[in-house]
Amino acid sequence: MSYWKVLESVASELHKLHTPPSWMQESTIKGSFALMLQNPCWKISTQGMAIGQRRRGRLLPVGAIALLGLSLLAACGCVSKTAADRKEVVLYTSLNEPTARSVLSQFEQETGIRVIVQADTERDKTVGLVRTLIEEKDRPRADVFWNSEAANTERLKQAGVLEKMEPVPEAASTIPPQYRDPDGYWYGFAARARILIVNTDLVSAGEEPTSMWDLVDPKWRGKGGIVRPVTGTTLTHVTALYELLGQEETDRFLDGVLDNECHLPPGNGRLASLVGEGQIHFGFTDTSDYRLVKNEGRPVKAVYPDQEEMGTLVIPNTVARVRGGPNPENARKLIEFLLSEEAEAILAHHERGHIPLKPGVDRPEEVRVPDEMRTMEVDFVRVGGMIEQRIQEMDSRFP
């Protein structure tokens, strides 16, 4: 009996996780279990054969079919609603879900619209999400795409996955023009800066690296780090460097990275942790990853690089509407909310400390905004257009 109780709790937990369709009420699921419990098929005669064998022989297929049936029944309870008139919106996001939820729960509270989130893990490098959006292009299942950088959003726009926002969201009017698509397909908000995270136990004050070129300085041989630039903000960063510095200079930088024995961790979060642990002296990461390590009490500081020259790269989160998504009205509401000052303030106060792009947004003191630093001038539309070529080049360059 206890086994069935466990199954019952599974179904009930599944029911809590996902609202079942109208025909599948909780009572239906529980009723099915009750029926199974009362099923007389367990009381099979054991006459004429070794009792254990006979019982097993009969119970097994019946039990197995019942188990599968019950599990599928429970699984049906997890089917998300699909009709456009329901109060829900489907969000695909490359952010890790806990961070995204800090904003989305506020949206849900204010509007009563439930946000169904499909996220990605850092390990999978947004590949799964982007491929899913492309594969679902002819029958979209997502309403909104919230990307943690801009280049892949631009690529999805070029691939015809995204839809132009008309009319322009009201909340978008105060977004600086360099952080929004001039064609109106995507908008930037809550940015992250590409900084050098430095271990203060290993690097004495006054000797910190201050430029990206320090990564290739023989003085720092084997001490610096940068994520292998085939994905995420590092790929965007390197592609932006090609736009800004040109082919020759950027190639020189990347060759230097390899020659100078820079470490190549799998992600910016991992790089920040390694610097915090003292396994790497310093390296390029995002402000959000730096903040997590700093909050753990690790001996690290952030250096905004190249303040005397080309400036620090600031990469916005981007949000866009998926073409033909099932809940267009709710999608617009979510986008309006994400672009609002309220959402930027929530993300600024989050432990990862995203940088507000709009003027006057409430933020902690340590979160520096673009006006307080020299920033790189980047055309994210051009960067997005170049990124496919750069992926192949970087993949070959860092074999």
Partner 1 sequence: MTFRWRDTVPVGLAALALLAALVMGPLPAIWAFSDLLKDFGEGVRALRDRVLWIRLSRMLLISAVTLGVAVPVGLVQGWLLARSDLPLRRCLLAITPFPMFLPPLVHVLAWFGAWQVRGLVAIVLVYVISFTPFVVLMVYRSLEQVSRSQAETLQLIGGTRLLMQSELRDALPAALVGGSLALVFLLSDFSVADFLTSVGPKVTVYADSLYAHHLALRPAAAAAAAVPGLVVCLGLMLGVLSLRRRLGAAVGDRFLAASPVPLGHMRWPIFLVSFAIAVFGSLFPFFSLIGQIGEWEVFRQQTRLAGGHVIYSVGLAVAAATGMVLIGFPLSWLGVRLRRPWPIDLLIFLPLATPPLLYGVGLIRQWNRPGLDWMYLGAGMVIVALIGRYLAFVYLALGGAFERLDRPLFEAARLSGAGLWQRTRSIALPLLWSPLASAWCISFCFTLRELDTLIMLRGGQQALTFYLYSHVVFAREDQVASLALLLAIMTYAPLLTYLILARKPLQLI
Give the phi and the psi of residue 115 in degrees, each rounded to 5: -100, 120
> Is the Cα dihedral 78, 82, 84, 90 positive or negative?
positive
- Close Cβ partners of 389 (under 8 Å, ≥ 6 residues apart): none
CA-CA distance, 45 to 54, in Å (whole number)?
Answer: 9
Q: Which of residues 2-21 bind partner 1 (CB under 8 A)?
A: 7, 9-11, 13-14, 16-18, 21
Residue with smaller CB distance to partner 1, 57 or 359? 57
* Nearest distance from C-beta of residue 74 to partner 1, angstroms: 6
C-beta of 21 vs 176, nearer to partner 1 = 21
Nearest to 59 by CA among 36, 46, 42: 42
Among 26, 110, 124, 366, binds partner 1 (CB under 8 A): 124
Does 399 participate in binding partner 1 (rule CB under 8 A)? Answer: yes
> Which residue in the set 29, 113, 115, 130 belongs to the binding site for partner 1 (CB under 8 A)?
130
Q: Is 178 in the site for partner 1 (CB under 8 A)?
A: no
Residue closer to partner 1 (CB basis): 283 or 370: 283
The least distance separating partner 1 from the CB of residue 212, rounded to whole angstroms, comes to 19
Using CA atoms, how far apart are residues 345 and 343, in angstroms rounded to an integer? 5
How many residues interact with partner 1 (rule CB under 8 A)? 86
* Binder of partner 1 out of 33, 89, 99, 239 (CB under 8 A): 99
Residue 90 in contact with residue 141, Cβ under 8 Å? yes
| Subset of 41-80 contacting partner 1 (CB under 8 A) | 49-50, 52-54, 56-58, 60-61, 64-65, 67-68, 71-72, 74-76, 78-80
Tell me the closest approach of the beta carbon of residue 91 to partner 1, in angstroms.
11
CB of residue 11 to partner 1, shortest distance in Å: 8
According to CB under 8 A, which residues from 208 to 237 bind partner 1? 225, 228, 230-231
Instruction: Tell me the backbone φ, ψ of residue 88, rounded to 5 degrees.
Output: -150, 160
- Tell which one of 267, 311, 370, 384 touches partner 1 (CB under 8 A): 267
Lay out the site mask for partner 1 across 309-348 (x = CB under 8 A, - = otherwise). Answer: ----------------------------------------
Residue 34 or 75: the one with the smaller Cβ distance to partner 1 is 75
- For partner 1, the binding residues in 359-398 under the rule CB under 8 A are 388, 391-392, 395-396, 398
Nearest distance from C-beta of residue 174 to partner 1, angstroms: 30
Give the max Cα distance, the chain.
Answer: 93
Stretch 270-299 residues interacting with partner 1 (CB under 8 A): 270-271, 273-274, 279-280, 289, 292, 296
What whole-number distance in Å separates Cα of residue 76 and Cα of residue 35?
18
Q: Does 259 bind partner 1 (CB under 8 A)?
A: no
Checking DSSP bridges between strand 114-118 and strand 144-147, what pairing results, if any?
unpaired
3-state secondary structure 107-143: HHHHHCCEEEEECCCHHHCCHHHHHHHHHCCCCCCCC
Structure tokens given for 133? 């959006």
Which positions from 148 through 177 interact with partner 1, judged by CB under 8 A? 155, 159
Pick from 30, 86, 122, 217: which binds partner 1 (CB under 8 A)? 122
The set of residues, in sequence order, having a beta carbon less than 8 Å from that of 227 and lying 6+ positions away, is 234, 264, 265, 266, 267, 268, 270, 271, 284, 285
Query: Which DSSP string do the residues of 280-310 spell out, in sequence order?
Result: SSEEEEEHHHHHHHHHTT-SEEEE---TTTT
Q: How far is CA 249 from CA 79, 145, 210, 353, in A?
A: 52, 34, 18, 32
Residue among 157, 192, 263, 281 that touches partner 1 (CB under 8 A): 263
Question: Which residue in 34, 41, 84, 134 binds partner 1 (CB under 8 A)?
Answer: 134
